[in-house]
A and B are shown apart, each in its own frame.
Chain A
Amino acid sequence: MNIQAGIKLTAAEAALVESYNEQVGELPGDGNTLVARDTLLSDLKTAGLPTRRVEAWHYTDLKSLLKTVPAFLRGASAQRVEPIVPGSTVLSVVNGKAHTRVLPEGITAKSYADALLDGSAADGLVARDADDVIGRINGSFVRDGLIVEVAEGAAFEAPIEIQSVQNCGQVNTRFPVRFGAGAKATVIERHLAIGEDAALVTSVTDMRLADDAEVTWIIFQSEGDADTHLAQFKAELGANAKLRLYVINGGGKLVRQEIHIAVAGEGSDLTLRGINLLGGESHTDVTFTVDHNVPHTTSTEVIRNVVFDRARGVFQGQIRVAQDAQKTDAKMSCNTLLLSDDAEFSAKPELEIFADDVQCGHGATVIDIDHTQLFYLMARGVPENKARAMLVNAFVAEIVEELDDETLVEALEGVISDWLEKYA
């Protein structure tokens, strides 16, 4: 390992470099793929992990928060679990290794490792910008994932669950996903841990929605209490495409979930709903950008956070409206319930507007439980702890109820109740 003179690496940075040197011989792909990996790692080494001084990481000082990096474990063995919604089509990635299977008509899934091996994935192994540390780590280490393609006009009865389950070590996966024109689907992207040992999970989902596609995409993260989860979700929307994106965080010690959406086709629409259930020592950061690049697009974002114990939550949201994107309608709100004196929440909802004929707004609140509501319930004989739980539940469940699929609503409500039972 060559450490360049003058650059002092932290323990975690050094561990990443060392881990790369140790794994590089067995990472899939050579030629251009390897060149791309080497470049990303070398950039990571030069830039280091981001500190508060990097605006995009203002509230998540990864340099000091990421203390150790678990080694890649060859013998790690997790098992796939039952899907959240019974009857879903399940695609599983176990400890970072994808398993393909026969799928219903209109959808195909191929191993991303094959694309790394034949070099076709090499072009995708680049960082988004100078601060994209997730892209760098993931691009250097990625071993597998799934390339999912949904055919033009395809529609499905049951949801599709892409399940990434791990028990420890390192998991670095990618999911390039394409929806053909007019395709309709509900997909659950689920990241979960079984087991107590620490894991470093990085995941990049890169989605394209062709014109008129309508997709409900649910990210549900429930990593373990010792795990670091660094994820990026990118999507580009074609004309009149609709993306309904739900992001639910309910686990992990150090979590950064980035969401970058380009509302790039006229008439396209983004609905983002976020639920952050934070407890214990968790530090969870949801960073979101949406680019309105063309006229007549809409986006609404609602983020609800409940913060218990010594947890710290972060929401950074940025609505950008390009000069040509007249008639944009964008609304963002971020509401937080702080439920412990040791809990923290920081929000940075930004607007960056270059067009004049737009309606854009954002709102952010941080509050405790409404005492009049609590009083109302207690006056009717509901014990205080139960009344609190009801109010917290209502605060987040409200968002889930917007979904039309009742089995899905029920499943997600169950997920929320389970979490609240454990932490509240």
Chain B
Amino acid sequence: MPAVQETIDQVRQIDVDQYKYGFETTIEMEKAPKGLSEEIIRFISAKKSEPEWMLEWRLEAYRRWLTLEEPTWARVDYPKIDFNDLYYYAAPKNQSGPKSIDEVDPEILKTYEKLGIPLREQEILAGVQTSKIAVDAVFDSVSVVTTFKEELKKAGVIFMSISEAIREYPELVKKYLGSVVPTTDNFYATLNSAVFTDGSFVFVPKGVRCPMELSTYFRINEKNTGQFERTLIIAEEGAYVSYLEGCTAPQRDENQLHAAVVELVAMDDAEIKYSTVQNWYPGDKEGKGGIYNFVTKRGDCRGKNSKISWTQVETGSAITWKYPSCILRGDGSRGEFYSIAVSNGHQQIDSGTKMIHLGKNTSSRIISKGIAAGVSQNTYRGQVSTHRKAENARNFTQCDSLLIGDRCGAHTVPYIEAKNSSAQFEHEATTSKISEDQLFYCLQRGIPEEAAIALIVNGFVKEVIQELPMEFAVEAQKLISISLEGSVG
């Protein structure tokens, strides 16, 4: 398809330098001293006025972490991280916890305004913003504000930063924290357990359908800081919640670390829908800078007929190491994973999911679409397994990769493990470039090539996009076109 040469050239030209959230906010910050030690953990815990058990929990994780080695099995390549050369805590001065919007530093408000995140409830209600979404805004290590808290409280939904929740609902946090991703889980999850600074906490009580979309917006601003967020979402019997996270960071030459842990718990008949639009700074076109995104996300379908659905649009980060998973423990539970992973420039993505079938009559569905351009490497790595007693487990997996240019790589590594004869697993994967037949068909009908490619790529990812909450589907579509600008228009 020689005509695409033009497209490829344009992708190269524009490349990842299109990142439009790369600005920096100048604001006075308070930081913990550089490095990692028990002292630093005590410092973080004290900053957050945490109870004693929380500190112990962190220290135990830290001691465990010291004995662990960094995993090397993923298809990503990066220089060794010096974990003692990072700041583990950085917060805007005089901003120890979320307050009312009026007390938030105007510089921070401006930052979110620039990012297009609605933080002013009045404006949203007055129709300046069209959709009504509750937002928890996390700036480096702290949550600066959480909107619509009161309104949600009336419905019985708890939505606040996790630091606040540890203080206000210690029993709930204690009961669920680490119950899905234990502190011993893996290198990065253990590190996160020791030093996590903020994140969101959501509790939807029995029978409640959360009245609005919840979302958290993560922003890394400070230099040399690692962001370690921890999110915990619990949906009690029959509850429903849809949650979205977004992420951006300034454009810098140094790499920055982001190691998050997200835990979801769904009880009987509950449903959690978790969507991510990940747009961390991906580095420049020489591959300099960018975020290292090492994330552990796991959902536990603890109750009967519960459902957890992960949707992710991954366009940012220099390196992504992320496998949102579902443990299908409850009988009749269902897990879903929809992913679009776009890599360009020197980005490296190793992402996928795990569906662990433990209960009877469980089902799961995996749709993964990888698009690789530039000199990027894009890997899908996923596992589907049934326990010996998990009768009638069903899985359908489809992972497709699209390659744009001949310097990039697309890889598929599925692990399929069946231990029960009633299991029914289907897996299919394809890798191709844009079909000449499809392109010819469009061109022949007078659609210009750029538009035709855009059409085909959009068709390619449609199955995933339509799983996103409506408000974000549009944004996600825009993001994909930015990442591939020049090739999809």
Contact = CB atoms under 8 A, between A and B. Distances in A.
A366 B421 CA distance: 8
B421 A364 contact: no
Contacts of A346: 415-418
Nearest to B392: A368
Given A346-B417, A361-B428, A366-B418, A351 B423 contact: no
Interface in B414-435: 414-433
Given A346-B418, A348-B416, A353-B411, A364 B406 contact: no
A364 B425 contact: yes
A423 to B, nearest CB: 15
Given A348-B413, A364-B416, A326 B406 contact: yes
Nearest to A321: B431
B178 interface: no
B354 to A, nearest CB: 14
B424 A368 contact: yes
A345 interface: yes
Contacts of A352: 409, 411
Nearest to B413: A350
A362 B420 contact: no
Contacts of A199: none
A225 to B, nearest CB: 22
B411 A351 contact: yes
B469 interface: no
B43 to A, nearest CB: 37
Given A345-B418, A346-B417, A366-B416, A359 B388 contact: no
Nearest to A362: B429
Nearest to B429: A362
A69 interface: no
A130 to B, nearest CB: 14
Nearest to A349: B414
B416 A347 contact: yes
A343 B433 contact: no
A338 B423 contact: yes
A363 B427 contact: yes
B53 interface: no
Contacts of B420: 338, 341
Contacts of B170: none
A326 B433 CA distance: 11
B306 interface: no
A323 B428 CA distance: 23
A365 B421 CA distance: 12
Interface string A328-357: 000000001011111111111111111111
Nearest to A313: B418
Contacts of B417: 59, 344-347
A368 B422 CA distance: 6
A55 interface: yes
Interface size class of A (residues with CB under 8 A): 35 or more
Contacts of B16: none
B422 A353 contact: no
B418 A356 contact: no
A53 to B, nearest CB: 9
A362 B407 contact: no
A315 B405 CA distance: 31
B405 to A, nearest CB: 6
A366 B386 CA distance: 11
Nearest to A333: B428
Nearest to B416: A347
Contacts of B409: 352-354
A5 interface: no
B73 interface: yes
A351 B410 contact: yes
Contacts of A349: 412, 414, 416, 427, 429
B488 interface: no
B342 interface: no
A367 interface: yes
Nearest to A345: B418
Nearest to A344: B419
B406 A336 contact: no
B346 to A, nearest CB: 15
B231 interface: no
A53 B236 CA distance: 38
Contacts of A342: 388
A119 to B, nearest CB: 40
Contacts of B403: 353, 355-356, 358
A187 interface: no
B95 to A, nearest CB: 45
Given A356-B408, A356-B433, A364 B418 contact: no
Contacts of A350: 411-414
Contacts of A362: 412, 427-429
Interface in A347-395: 347-368
A18 to B, nearest CB: 33
Nearest to A361: B430
B424 to A, nearest CB: 5
Contact of B418 (A55, A58, A336, A354): A336
A364 B433 contact: no
Contacts of B61: none
B401 interface: yes
B93 to A, nearest CB: 47
A356 B424 contact: no
Contacts of A358: 403, 431-433
Contacts of B239: none
Contacts of A55: 73
B404 interface: yes
A360 B432 contact: yes
Contact of A323 (B1, B407, B414, B424): B407
Contacts of B405: 356
B35 to A, nearest CB: 31
Nearest to B388: A341
A336 B425 CA distance: 10
B157 to A, nearest CB: 40
A275 to B, nearest CB: 18
Interface string A140-175: 000000000000000000000000000000000000
A349 B431 CA distance: 13
Nearest to B4: A356
Nearest to A356: B403
A363 B428 contact: yes
Contact of A364 (B1, B73, B407, B427): B427
B421 A340 contact: yes
B223 to A, nearest CB: 35
A366 B424 contact: yes
Nearest to B379: A352
Contacts of A344: 417-419
B42 to A, nearest CB: 35
Nearest to A355: B406
A349 B192 CA distance: 33
B397 to A, nearest CB: 8
A352 B370 CA distance: 13
Given A355-B406, A366-B418, A360 B413 contact: no
Contacts of B413: 348, 350
Contacts of A336: 418
Contacts of A338: 418, 420-421, 423
B425 A348 contact: no
Contacts of B411: 350-353
A357 B412 contact: no
9 contacts: A326-B406, A336-B418, A344-B418, A344-B419, A351-B431, A359-B430, A362-B429, A363-B429, A366-B424
Given A341-B422, A346-B416, A355-B406, 6 more contacts: A323-B407, A349-B414, A349-B416, A361-B431, A365-B427, A366-B418
Q: Which 4 A-B pairs have the closest CB atoms?
A: A356-B403, A361-B430, A366-B418, A338-B421
